[in-house]
Structure 1
Amino acid sequence: MAHQVDLNADMGESFGPWKMGDDAALLKIVTSANVACGIHAGDWDVMATTMAQAVENGVGIGAHPGFADLHGFGRQRMHYPLPSLQNLIRYQVGAAQAMARAAGGQVRHLKLHGALANMASEDQAMARACYEAALSVAPDLIIMVLAGTAQQRAARELGCPVACEIFADRAYNDDATLVDRSLPGAVIHDPDRAAARMVKMVKAGAIITESGKHIPTRIDTICLHGDTPTAVSIAAGVRRALQESGVELKQFAGGPA
């Protein structure tokens, strides 16, 4: 059976004159883009530019909501009452929809960012609240979930279409969550290592953790972070290695969790 997988990257994370990542280069490599919504990163001009470039390159557009934490880039854990968190999600999805439509595109998926995503990967009720909020604004969204975590279980409860995601440049714990960025080896900077591990995971149909444990999972999409110095070289290396191993690169369609 032929393997196929989507490549996604978080982007649109510049702010005013401050630049983060090389979105133009990434958009020539990936098949889906998760665009920051101006709350943890990005602004209205960055959103407009990124959405337009995504449309030009035929790349699927996703809303990438995070905590209201510009200073911490959305990576500081924050605690909101769930109704307020839901409004924070709705606010960002609505902004993404408006900017995508103005650029001649549409928002087809949702992916939570940073600390919000990490907390939702541990807390099923929190994940469900976020997804319910997004779907209340855009009922046809495909929910991108961190494969094998509470995010996927929450989406399964809701019965919404999902895309199961693994990370090219992040190490895994044995419960399928990501190793905390504060720990050594949490972020993988070597393009060759990132590429080899993605081919191995896609072929195995499993997340392979730092301890060597295999966690069987559906793999629909691979995340390539856009905010690291080696982001473009990792993205290009992963794309090339997958293609050379016979894996087809294609936007995910979304399916049951």
Structure 2
Amino acid sequence: MKTAKSITAMLIAVLAAGGLAACSGGSSGGVFNQAFNVSGHWAGTISDETGAARAATMTLSDGGGTVSGTISITGHTCISGGNLTGTAVQAPANTTGDNPLTADQENSNDGTVSLTISSAQATGGVSAVTISAGGAGYTSVPVVSFSEPPSGGTKAEGNAVLGTGDTAGEVGGVVITNPGSGYVLAPSVFFSGGGGSGAIADATIDTATVSDSVTFTLTGSSSSLIGSYSGVWKSNTGTCSVETSGTVNLSRL
């Protein structure tokens, strides 16, 4: 009887020890309490409007999930670089081999990052039109037209004025009837009709500051991130005046 009681006591002790180990959060396949932190230097590619992969680098500082930094992109049709702000969030779930009763996040250095780059791009309406060549042979007032502004803007409008005396038959000026809005670059000015030809004019825009932005949404680990970006960015080159989007692939250096 004493032997049976001793064996029973030993079994109870072994089972109790096993239960405590199971509740302790130990894992045969995990690393305890890893962190998802994106601080450091990153390099990779970002696709542009043409689908081409452009070389990109990011330098990030992650202070407990609040992220700031810079980005530089070579050869992108719209964005060359700027300052980044955003957040990083660690994946909350335990992974294979972890005790599901604990929240120690073993094996979890994965997460998501949301970063935004903003511009202070100057846009505005047409404030003046300067005649650089009046042309010749105009017997009636030609129609004036302006090139289209980027998406979201309104097209400028105006009326031509013919010269008199020594400048008769030439375009002497343009009266702006609607300055339009949203121009990043000064629009082209066109003259049609009126029986003449050769009139040339240059527009000037009265700029105001607007803020366009592009957001990068990335997922991965503390060593590699992939994802996409989208937003509106009015480039100085005029080649990226509407929504831009693409893919991102980065690795920590």
Q: TM-score range by the shorter chain?
A: under 0.3
Structure with bigger helix share is 1
Structure with bigger gyration radius: 2
Instruction: Give me the TM-score of the superposition, normalised by structure 2.
Output: 0.20
Q: Which has the higher contact order (CA 8 A, sep 6+)?
A: 1
